[in-house]
Structure 1
Amino acid sequence: MSAVFDVSRVRSSYPALRDGHAYLDGAAGTQVPQAVVEAIAAAYRAGIGNTGGAFAASERAGAIVADCRRAVADLTGGVADGVIFGPSMTALTYRLSSALARGWAPGDEVVVSRLDHDANIRPWVQAAGRAGAVIRWAEVDTATGELPAAQYADLVTERTRLVAVTAASNVLGTRPDVAAIAACAHAAGALCYVDGVHATPHMPVDVAELGADCYATSAYKWAGPHVAAVIAAPSLLQTLRPDKLAPASDEVPQRFERGTLPFADLAGVTAAVDHLAGLAGPARPAGSGGAGGSRRERIVASMTAVQAFEMSLFARLLSGLAGMGHVTLYGKAARRAPTAFFTVAGMTPRAVAAHLASRRVNAWHGDNYAVELCGVLGLRPGGAVRAGLVHYNDASDVDRLLSAVAELAAGYPGRRLRPVVLRPGFTSLRPALPR
């Protein structure tokens, strides 16, 4: 049965949204719902100790970790014993790249893509350099922003050891055919490492369907605290020997987790997963029971509804920007996450972002760490402006951004502003036309 998404109900659970700003900066990090705030506070109030002790506070910490591994596994379709926690996707990818590269030899090959965030490029380039392995590049179609999967048939050879690819571009939103790319890697006996940071907040994720041997995600991109995870098969992790302290656990996945985990934040991660699972309820007759099914089933239903809602809102954003002659949009892939990347004629991205901020619209500027992509698009060093939608954005957020960008139309700098009704109940400002 289809799920019902009520953005007003969702927004009411986010305290930060009460400040009246349009938070279109979610691609760089989302706000958190009250349930996450409360879960973190509750963990501290209850008392937590380091794991492995013979006392209750230590046992509570252990239970928090175990619960969080199960939650992240439910979110991604993985298994709890294959969930590794760390401070960031970047830190975890460096950790995994070092461990994997120990099995590489001179002449081996690693395939990376120009579409990716640098966190799924530089760790592999540097690890390959130390091992004497060769880097091969998958190129982006600059006209569309697509990453054609067909090119991997030529890029992947019998010497390929790993293919690193994003599930969604963090600036263009492009969603490559990861399953086809992973299948090509596997046919050659190579692994596929997937950056899922920008994909996870916007759609249901199934690591098995993607063919990801390792799937990286960051909770702060989907309404959680600053914790990251890599999800992999425990059997793969058993073959890797990362650097670790002598007394630290050698069990999987703990052998990849350096130092003490942030237990209270992990309680917040579990709360964030539960929040995502409840973003949309099933369509059902009045008086019927509550939403049923496992947490995994509820996540899939909820994130399917989120994806439909976000893409409908994204169409409004793209249409509005495309209709402005002073705006250049980048990327038009057939499958996208709801992220717009654009420039305004005669203005630096920083100046555009500052103008948006003056209108209480939060949006990012720059290359957003997609340095290779911005290079091939001719957008270095300044990058562009990025506006990203997440599940708590609504039409008023989009309309406020469009109105603020419209104010920057060439030929109207400093002109008097007049009110314009964008839709019933919402008024903004645009440059007054010459009389």
Structure 2
Amino acid sequence: MTYNAIAIRSHFPALTAGLAHFDGPGGTQTPRQVGAAIALTLTRPLTIRGTRSLPERNAEAAVQGFRQACADLLGADPRGIIYGRSATALTYDFSHHLSQHWGPGDEIVVTRLDHDANISPWVQAAERVGATVRWVDFDPATGELTAAMVAAVLTSKTRLVAVTAASNLIGTRPPITAIAALVHAVDALLWVDGVHNTPHASVDVQTLGADFYVCSAYKFLGPHCGVLAAAPELLETLHPDKLVASTDASPERFEFGTLPYETMVGVTAAIDFLAALVPAGADAAAAGAAAPSRREQLLASFAALEEHEAALRARLESGLAELPGVTIHSRAANRTPTLLITFANHSAADASLFLIERKVLAPAGSFYALEASRVLGLGDAGGLRIGLAAYTTAGEIERLLVGLEDFLQQP
């Protein structure tokens, strides 16, 4: 099925401002369907969850709809879907929950490829209980983080390994399934940061082997919040601190306070929008077959999206290769359509400001991936990050390349 980026863009009011958005890794723009769903939830009868009154049922439907939609997106069990204020907040929460079982002699593994939100919570939790932190490096020349690199630091004392499914700085996708097998072989848990991965590829947490998989809805066209997927049986083994009167049922016992029903409905609407990126049900309907499930539609949409983004990335890379003094630091064989570049004689920050004047948004920095930026030899300054999204077009790629060419002609 043909991917029609122009048709998709018609649903995004923000895109009428004339800006070319290459800032998707920091947060995508939002389709009007998401905003409408949020507004409707806030303005119709609503109260605390229940089954008796209409307001109670509306609240209950918002929560259950959110869990099922996220389960369809991630190939997970809806009973293991947890809402969080952000992926960072969820990671901090679970670093406290999990570290209750750690102590001196235990080892926690983090990587230098990760966003700091998947490093500091684990390092701080380990330090608090006297556990040892072990680090996994990556190859700065290729951007690769291999299963062998993880295997080198695993021992019988390993309790948890935290690793990204895709680097938010250079796009590298480590081999999570292979890493999961190694982690489970030493009877440890695997926490996967899927924040940058989820907007660009279909996800199946069971196939990946992730014990915990966290992502952020505002990176895939939704509102600002985090989502965690885990096996319900695993969650049952964890007992967080909570209010005496609050439920002990899972996953609710991990969600503190009254939930923001409007935000949860917004996430569901974003997932429904992703499922409709390509009309997956058209052929089935014409043949008289049953309509595909939302999960099947999502798989079809992401297959088309990956093909679209791969073509745009190829054109972008070829264009950047023709520009003098440009270094592309995104080199892994398997990676997202996110490029980090630097310039021989110009600063990335200046490039970003120059592009803003052209209404092209490509931010500069290390984007909280401090360890990765330092391994690349870029210090804390990082580089210019160019990220593609579901609404990026070939014309915008050309607009960016022209802008960079003009910038490099500046003294």
Q: Do they superpose with TM above 0.5?
A: yes
Q: Are 2:330 and 2:338, in contact at CA under 8 Å, matched by a contact in 1?
A: no
TM-score of the two chains, using structure 2 as the length reference: 0.97
2:132 corresponds, among 111, 134, 154, to: 134
Task: Identify the range of structure 1 (46-55 vs 36-45) with the bigger mean alpha-carbon deviation.
Answer: 46-55
Structure 1 residues 204 and 371: alpha-carbon distance in aligned structure 2, compared to 1, 3 A threshold: same
Q: C-alpha distance in 1, partners of 2:58/2:283?
A: 37
Partner deviation per Cα, 1:272-314 (whole Å, 9 max, x = no partner): 1111111012474996679921111111111111111111111
Q: C-alpha distance in 1, partners of 2:143/2:372?
A: 9
Q: Give the secondary structure class of the aligned counterpart of 1:342.
A: strand
Amino acid at match of 1:94: Y
Q: C-alpha distance in 1, partners of 2:94/2:21?
A: 33
Q: C-alpha distance in 2, partners of 1:87/1:380?
A: 30
The offset of 1:352, in angstroms, is 1.1
Partner deviation per Cα, 1:293-340 (whole Å, 9 max, x = no partner): 111111111111111111111111111112211211102100010001
Structure 1 residues 121 and 291: alpha-carbon distance in aligned structure 2, compared to 1, 3 A threshold: farther
Q: Are 1:11 and 1:392, in contact at CA under 8 Å, matched by a contact in 2?
A: yes
Matched ranges for 1:197-208 at <5 A: 197-208=195-206
Q: C-alpha distance in 2, partners of 1:318/1:180?
A: 29
1:99 corresponds, among 73, 81, 97, to: 97
Partner deviation per Cα, 1:50-97 (whole Å, 9 max, x = no partner): 224843212211110001000000000001010000110000000011
2:19 corresponds, among 21, 36, 44, to: 21
Identify the residue that residue 61 of structure 2 maps to in structure 1: 63
Which structure features the higher share of strand residues? 1
The offset of 1:243, in angstroms, is 1.9
Q: C-alpha distance in 1, partners of 2:381/2:225?
A: 29
Task: Identify the range of structure 1 (381-390 vs 181-190) with the bigger mean alpha-carbon deviation.
Answer: 381-390
TM-score of the two chains, using structure 1 as the length reference: 0.91
Q: Are 1:87 and 1:228, in contact at CA under 8 Å, matched by a contact in 2?
A: yes
Structure 1 residues 231 and 286: alpha-carbon distance in aligned structure 2, compared to 1, 3 A threshold: closer
Structure 1 residues 18 and 291: alpha-carbon distance in aligned structure 2, compared to 1, 3 A threshold: farther
Amino acid at match of 1:117: H
Matched ranges for 1:1-400 at <5 A: 3-52=1-50, 54-282=52-280, 284=283, 292-400=291-399
Amino acid at match of 1:198: H
Amino acid at match of 2:102: W
Q: C-alpha distance in 1, partners of 2:384/2:34?
A: 29
Structure 1 residues 331 and 64: alpha-carbon distance in aligned structure 2, compared to 1, 3 A threshold: same
Q: Are 1:93 and 1:120, in contact at CA under 8 Å, matched by a contact in 2?
A: yes
Q: Give unpaired runs (5+ residues) of structure 2.
A: none
Structure 1 residues 81 and 377: alpha-carbon distance in aligned structure 2, compared to 1, 3 A threshold: same
Q: C-alpha distance in 2, partners of 1:238/1:285?
A: 40
Q: Give the secondary structure class of the aligned counterpart of 2:263.
A: helix
Q: Give unpaired runs (5+ residues) of structure 1.
A: 415-435
Task: Identify the range of structure 1 (319-328 vs 362-371) with the bigger mean alpha-carbon deviation.
Answer: 319-328
Q: C-alpha distance in 1, partners of 2:149/2:377?
A: 22
Q: C-alpha distance in 2, partners of 1:53/1:379?
A: 55
The offset of 1:162, in angstroms, is 0.4
Q: Are 2:284 and 2:292, in contact at CA under 8 Å, matched by a contact in 1?
A: no
Q: How many residues align?
A: 410
Q: Give the secondary structure class of the aligned counterpart of 2:135.
A: strand
Q: C-alpha distance in 2, partners of 1:285/1:225?
A: 32
Q: Are 1:292 and 1:298, in contact at CA under 8 Å, matched by a contact in 2?
A: no
Structure 1 residues 285 and 77: alpha-carbon distance in aligned structure 2, compared to 1, 3 A threshold: closer
Q: Are 1:143 and 1:331, in contact at CA under 8 Å, matched by a contact in 2?
A: no
Q: C-alpha distance in 2, partners of 1:201/1:268?
A: 16
Structure 1 residues 240 and 286: alpha-carbon distance in aligned structure 2, compared to 1, 3 A threshold: closer
Q: Are 2:284 and 2:290, in contact at CA under 8 Å, matched by a contact in 1?
A: no
Amino acid at match of 2:134: R
Report % sequence identity: 49
Q: Are 2:171 and 2:338, in contact at CA under 8 Å, matched by a contact in 1?
A: yes
Q: Are 1:83 and 1:231, in contact at CA under 8 Å, matched by a contact in 2?
A: yes
Q: Give the secondary structure class of the aligned counterpart of 1:141.
A: coil
Q: C-alpha distance in 1, partners of 2:406/2:249?
A: 58
Q: Give the secondary structure class of the aligned counterpart of 1:341.
A: strand
Q: C-alpha distance in 2, partners of 1:289/1:397?
A: 39
Amino acid at match of 1:27: P
Structure 1 residues 224 and 244: alpha-carbon distance in aligned structure 2, compared to 1, 3 A threshold: same
Q: Are 1:4 and 1:281, in contact at CA under 8 Å, matched by a contact in 2?
A: no
Q: C-alpha distance in 2, partners of 1:231/1:117?
A: 19
Q: Give the secondary structure class of the aligned counterpart of 2:2.
A: strand
Q: What stretches of structure 1 move > 3 A for 4+ residues in a row?
A: 282-291
Q: C-alpha distance in 1, partners of 2:119/2:289?
A: 44
